[in-house]
Structure 1
Amino acid sequence: MICLKTLPEKGTSGYHGKCLERLFGDKEVDLDLPENRKDLVSKMPKQTKGFSISGVQMKCQMAIEDKKLKLVDHNGQFIMKPSPEEYANVAENEHATLTLMDRIGFDVPPCGLLRLQDDHLVFIIRRYDRDFETGMKAHQEDAMQALGITNEDASNKYTSASYEEVLKMVIKEAGMAVAMELLLRLVFSYAVGNDDHHLKNISFYHDPMFRLTPCYDVLASSLYSSASENPMALPFFEDREALPSYYGNMGNGFYAGSDFIELGVRAGLLEAAVRKRISQLLRKVARLAPAAIHDSYMPDEMKEKYVNLVRQRLTFLDVLDYTNPKPTREGSR
C-alpha cells in the first residue's frame, strides 16, 4: 500500500519493510489505527490546527510517538487525508497518481495508504516542509506569494495569474531548468486529468536557492466531473483572454501538445528543448501509467476510466501513437 508492487509473502501487513522505512523511517512502526472512518473524521477537526480545509477534502497532521502513528495537533511529520464522502476513492486516486509521478522521475515525498478498522483507506504523505528528524521548518512559499498576490479572495488562486506569468517568474528567479521542470509538471497534470493545478499547488524553496518543492495535491480530479470547459486550473497566457493558437482547432475544449509548446516558448524556453522534454515525458506516461493505475487500490471501474482518460489526453498531446501502450509492471525509473 506504498509502492503498489507485489508482496513476496502471504500474511503480511500490506507493506514491504523497505517501504515502511522509506515513508515512516522505521519498518517496525505501529500502524494499527483503531478509528473507523466516522470516528476518524469526527476527531479530525480538533486536530487540524494550522491547516485549512481545501474544498471538501479534510486534512490532519500525524506523527510517530513511541513507534506508533498518532493524530497530533502540531509538529506533525505527515499529512493524512481521507476521501470525502462526496468523492469516493480520492485517497486511492491521489496515491496512484503520485506513485506514477515518482516512477516517472518527478520529486515526490514518500506517501502511501493506511487501512482503518472498517477497511476504509486514507492517504498519508510525509511533510516536505520540515526536516523529518529535527522538525525544523523549511521556508517555502506558493506561487501566489512568490508573485506578490494576496490571498484575501479564495478565487485568486485561479484567476490572479497565468501559467505564463508563473513560468516567467521562475525563469527570472531560478533559470530555465527549473521552469522546464514546472512546465513538465503542468503537462503531466493535463495528461492525468488533474484540473486543479492552481497557484497554491505550485510552491518553491528559497534556501539554499530558489527551486521547486516536491509535488503534492496531484490526482485525476477530472474523473469526478464530466465538464471539459476548464481542463487546466489557470489561463495559459499573460493575456488571460487569449487562447493557445491550436486550442481553437481542437473543437472540444481540450488542449493539444502544441499548446504546451507555445506556452513554454512564450514564457522564454527554447522550442527544441520543450518539444524534446515533453515527448520524453509522454513516452514515460504511456509506458508506466497502465501498471500504476491497474495495481492501485481504486475500484476496477475507476481504474478503467482513469486509463481511458490518460489514453485520450496522450492522443491530444502528441501526434505519435501513445494510445495503446503495452502494460508494464516496471516500477523503476
Structure 2
Amino acid sequence: MTYDRCLATLKAISGREAASGYSQRALKQVFGTSKVTFPLSYDRQEFFSKSVEYSKGISISGVQEKLSLRLDRASNELVVTRNNGEYILKPSPEAFPNAAENEHAAMLASQKIGIETALCTLVPFKTGELAYLTRRFDRLESGDKRPQEDLLQIGGLPPKAKYDVSYEKAGELVDQATGGKRAVKLDLFRRVLFAYAIGNNDLHTKNLSLQRAVESSSRFYDKLTPNYDVLFVQAFDNTKEGQFMACDLLTDPETGEEEFTEPYQEYGFYTGYDFLELGRRYGLPERAVIRAIRNQVDSQGDMIELIQSSYMPEEMKREAEVIVVGRCRAISTGIDR
C-alpha cells in the first residue's frame, strides 16, 4: 500500500516515502530515528488480546483500550511493554469508527493553532487499518515519572467529578497551583476556546494537567502539559446532539451553579462575549483575550485545509468543517470593539 500524505504530518509525500507512509523528517521527530519498521507486526484482533494481557487503559467515554509501546532499537519495531513505555497506541473503538484518524487530525489542528501538543502519528496494523499513536510526555529519559498532576488531582476531587469543575473554576485551580502565572492561564484559555471551536466537548479536568520543570525546587507548577486527548468529538454520528462543552464555562459566585451571560441567553450558544467574560474572570488583559480569539478565527482556513487533508472519511470531514466554520463565526461575535 502507498500513501500520498504522510501518516504523521498529513503533508504530501512521494516515491520511497509514499511507500512507507512517512517522511524521514516526521519519523525522526516522533521516534528520534527514521529507522522504524511498519506496519505493526499484529492486527486489530491481536491488539485486543495483548490489551487484555498488558493494560486496562480507557479513553473516549470509557471505551477505548490502549497499549504502551517502546521502540526496540535492535529490530526497529514498536513492541508492547509493561514498563518504560515510550508511546501509547490506540485503535478506533467499535463505537467510534475512525476515531484514530479523527484524533490525529484534531491533534495536528491543536499544534497548528500554536498550542503545545503531544507528538503523534497514525500507524498501520499489518492489515492496513490505521491506529493512533502518541509519544508519552509524562516520563523522563531515566524512566522516572515527570512531576505532573491533572486538575482533578490538584483540586483533590474524585475521578467521577471530572465534568463537575467549570472552566472558570479550572482557571482558579491553575492560578493556585502555578502561583498566579498569567501565561499558564492564557494557555488554558486558548485550549478551552480551541475545544469549543472544533467541537471537542470532552475537555474535562482529567484532560488538563500541569507539569513542574525537572530542575525546579518550587512547590508551584510551571506549565500545562502538552495538549492531549483532543478530538473533533461532535463530528461523530453518535455525538452530534451533545452539549457544547464538557464542563460549564462560567460559575455563578452566589449559587455555584452554571452562569449564562445575557448574549448566551439571546443567541442560545457561546459567542465571543462569553469568552471575553471568561478571560476577564481569569484576570487576563482584554487585548490578549481578543488576540487569542482573533487568532482562532483567522486560523479557520488552516483548520479546514488540515481537515480536508486528513485520513478521516469524507462525511466526518464535512461534519468537522461545518463545526469549525460555525464555531469560528460564533466566537467572532462581540470581539470587534
Structure-1-length-normalised TM-score: 0.88
1:170-209 aligned within 5 A: 170-172=174-176, 173=178, 174-207=180-213, 208=216, 209=221
Paired residue secondary structure (1:317): helix
Q: Please, which of 110, 116, 121 is the counterpart of residue 125 of structure 2? A: 116
Query: Is the contact made by 1:246 and 1:259 (CA closer than 8 Å) also made in structure 2?
Result: yes
Q: Deviations over 1:237-294 (max 9, x none)?
A: 233232233211113xx2112111111112322223211221122212x131111111
Q: How much has 1:52 moved relative to structure 2?
A: 4.9
Aligned to 1:231: 244
Tell whether the 8 Å contact from 1:109 to 1:215 is kept in structure 2 after alignment: yes
Instruction: Give CA-to-partner distance per residue, 1:165-185, whole Å, 9 cap, x none.
Output: 111232342421110111011
What's the secondary structure of 1:114's corresponding residue? strand
Which SS does the other structure have where 1:141 is aligned?
A: strand
Distance in 1, Cα, partners of 2:162 & 2:285: 28
Instruction: State whether residues 37 and 77 of structure 2, in contact with CA within 8 Å, keep that contact through their aligned partners in structure 1.
Output: yes
1:146 & 1:295 partners in 2: Cα distance? Answer: 38
1:35-114 equivalences in 2 (<5 Å): 35-48=42-55, 51-52=57-58, 55-65=62-72, 66=74, 67-114=76-123
Task: Tell me the equivalent position of 1:316.
Answer: 330
Correspondences of 1:126-145 after superposition (within 5 Å): 126-131=135-140, 133-145=141-153
CA offsets 1:67-92 (integer angstroms, 9 cap, x no match): 21111122210011100011100000
Q: For the Cα contact (< 8 Å) 1:78–1:124, is it kept in 2?
A: yes
Match of 1:2 among 8, 23, 29: 8
Q: Distance in 2 between matches of 1:115 and 1:206?
A: 34
CA 289–301 in structure 1, closer or farther in 2 if over 3 Å, else same: same
The residue that corresponds to 2:270 in the other structure is: 255
Does the 8 Å CA contact 2:271/2:333 hold for their aligned counterparts?
no
Unaligned runs of 5+ in 1: 321-333
SS of the residue corresponding to residue 12 of structure 1 reads helix
| Shift, 1:53, TM fit | 5.5
Q: Return the TM-score normalized by structure 2.
A: 0.87
Contact 1:165–1:267 (CA<8 Å) still a contact in 2? no
Q: Which runs of 5+ in 2 are unaligned?
A: 1-6
Other-structure match for 1:244: 261
| Alignment partner, residue 325 of structure 1 | none
When residues 241 and 110 of structure 1 are mapped into structure 2, their CA distance, relative to the original with a 3 A threshold, is closer
Give every structure 1 segment of 4 or more consecutive aligned residues whose post-TM-superposition deviation is greater than 6 Å. Answer: none
Q: Give 2:311's aligned residue.
A: 297
For the residues of structure 2 that align with 1:53 and 1:8, how far apart are their CA atoms? 34
Amino acid at match of 2:211: Y
Aligned-CA RMSD value: 1.9
Query: How many percent of aligned residue pairs carry the same amino acid?
Result: 35
Alignment: residue pair count: 311
Residue 264 (structure 1) aligned with residue 279 (structure 2):
yes
- Supply the AA of the counterpart residue of 1:200: K
Tell me if the contact between 1:168 and 1:268 (Cα under 8 Å) persists in the aligned partners: no
